[in-house]
Amino acid sequence: MLGYYFIIAVAIIASLLLTRKVLQHKILLVLFNGLQWSLTLYMCFHLHSEELGYFTADATAIIMLIVLSILATTSSFHSIYYLQHHHQRHATPQHAQAIYYAALCILIMAQTGAFLSSHIAVTWIFIELTTFSAAILIYHERKEDAVEATWKYLFVCSVALTLAFTGILFLSISAQASGTIDLSYRSLVNHAATFNPSWLKLSFLLILVGYSAKMGLFPMHTVCVDAHTVAPPPISAFISTTLMNVGFVAIFRMYSIIASTSILIWANHVLILAGTLSVFVAVVYLMQVHHFKRMFAYSSLENMGLVAIGLGVGGIGYYAVFLHLIFHSFTKASMFYQIQQVHHIYKSYLIKNTGNYFKYYLPGAVVILLSFISITGIPPSGMFFSEFMMFRALFEHQYYILLIIVLILLSFTIWALGRNFFRLVFSTPEDLDESRLDQGDPVQSISQYVLLGLVIYLGFNPPSQMVALINEAIKNLPF
């Protein structure tokens, strides 16, 4: 099935590049989404099936694949709107649209491959592929800052991934020394206990630093932030959610390898350190940010920091990490979709140019309020449950000082996010020319209601299949 998926996907991408008609592009995009969903459903019913030798549909992959497919559908939908509006104002050439759609399909395909791959180097190949396709999409608006951000994204990600590859080579050294030649995850997990600890430490560090560029974690988070600022909003929604999940899955699989070795405690401390620094950096920048998309980017950094802490603490933290990633994906994506409409109305992403959103566009203002509640983890949001579980894990494992630090930092984020969100929704801006404002289109807000509704529903009432999948994904980790 996966073989057919790749063949058909490549065919769709090629025909996207060859056609020039907008209608044909849309039809092909719908076809691609259909393909994505049929693959996802097929994989759901064939858990643990092996495909093409290098791909396995394990529980981690399935969870992330479902999130990816949901967001792929909404992002495609919003991309069509985005290109229409952008086309009206800037007269983008037809081939730029074709390239946009093709790169979007490549990005979705590469992420699917990265989730499903069961060989450590195959994961790397697909992650490198996401870099190129994301870079093309970031560059779409073709302005000066787009050039700058794309260059940084491309170059820093490439160097970071080279570091990650060095980490993979070190891992294969330690594997070889103990007689393991096969570098698939299953064989690595089974034999990890016999590996040389110092090589393993080195390779874990390199892989963590390398993939942190994708996950948006502390040492390499800057590229993601710049990329968000200029990328089209539906693409920002991708970079900030599913692409971060890709980075997480890559790090998580490495973590599962070392989970049965003697360096687990050391690795936990590294993760907690990276996570705490991420949260700290995010809070510092959130206090002084003046651009909505940068603000969201720093909020993603903060959430990924929480995820790293949760992974490092362990226990119920493992479960919370997956829950948090799912809810964060849905919430952050809907924030980016909504900011696209804010930009459509105010023609600006700067916080100081906006205000009184309730008056100009009621459905959007409600979305903004809901997503504020959701992202800051105020009940009834699902993120409340995941964050609560993380704090419980911190408490149970006696990280009291860390718990207090994280809670203080989090209250600062709530204050910073709240200030800017409420400014957008309630305050009356000075010198705002009402005649220049555009009308919002309520159809575009539907997807955000669905996603935010999902966050609340899944938080209160998690379906038993989802719980089973998450427990399956973390069953090999020590509690």
Partner 1 sequence: MLAVQGFLLFLLAFIQLVNVTILNLVFILLETLVFKTIALPLFINYIIRKNKITRETEPFVSYFISLLIITAAIIGSFILVQQIQGLGYDTLFFVVALSTLFLGLYVIISRGKLLTHIMGYVVLENGVFILSLAVGNEMPMMVNTGILIDIFVSVLVMGIFINKIGDVFNNSDTQAISQMKD
- Enumerate binding residues for partner 1 (CB under 8 A): 54, 119, 121-122, 124-125, 128-129, 131-132, 135, 139, 144-145, 147-152, 154-155, 158-159, 162, 165-166, 169, 172-173, 176-177, 181, 183, 196, 198-199, 226, 229, 285, 288-291, 294
Amino acid type, 353: N
To the nearest whole angstrom, how small is the minimum distance from the Cβ of residue 287 to partner 1? 10
> Residue 474 is encoded by which pair of tokens?
């973390």
Amino acid type, 6: F
Q: Of 122 and 313, which has the nearer Cβ to partner 1?
A: 122
Rounded CA separation 446/363 (Å): 9
Answer whether 307's CB lies under 8 Å from 439's CB: no
Rounded CA separation 100/365 (Å): 29
Omega of the bond prior to 234 within 30 degrees of 0, cis?
no
Residue 438, classed as helix, strand or coil, is coil
To the nearest whole angstrom, how small is the minimum distance from the Cβ of residue 93 to partner 1? 15
To the nearest whole angstrom, how small is the minimum distance from the Cβ of residue 121 to partner 1? 5
To the nearest whole angstrom, how small is the minimum distance from the Cβ of residue 445 to partner 1? 29
Q: Of 85 and 152, which has the nearer Cβ to partner 1?
A: 152
Rounded CA separation 92/97 (Å): 7
Burial tier of 139 (Cβ tally within 10 Å: 0-12, 13-18, 19+): buried
Which of 348, 340, 311, 298 minimizes the C-alpha distance to 441? Answer: 340
To the nearest whole angstrom, how small is the minimum distance from the Cβ of residue 136 to partner 1? 8
To the nearest whole angstrom, how small is the minimum distance from the Cβ of residue 345 to partner 1? 24
Greatest pairwise CA separation for the chain in angstroms: 73
Burial tier of 144 (Cβ tally within 10 Å: 0-12, 13-18, 19+): exposed
Q: Of 143 and 475, which has the nearer Cβ to partner 1?
A: 143
Q: Of 230 and 311, which has the nearer Cβ to partner 1?
A: 230
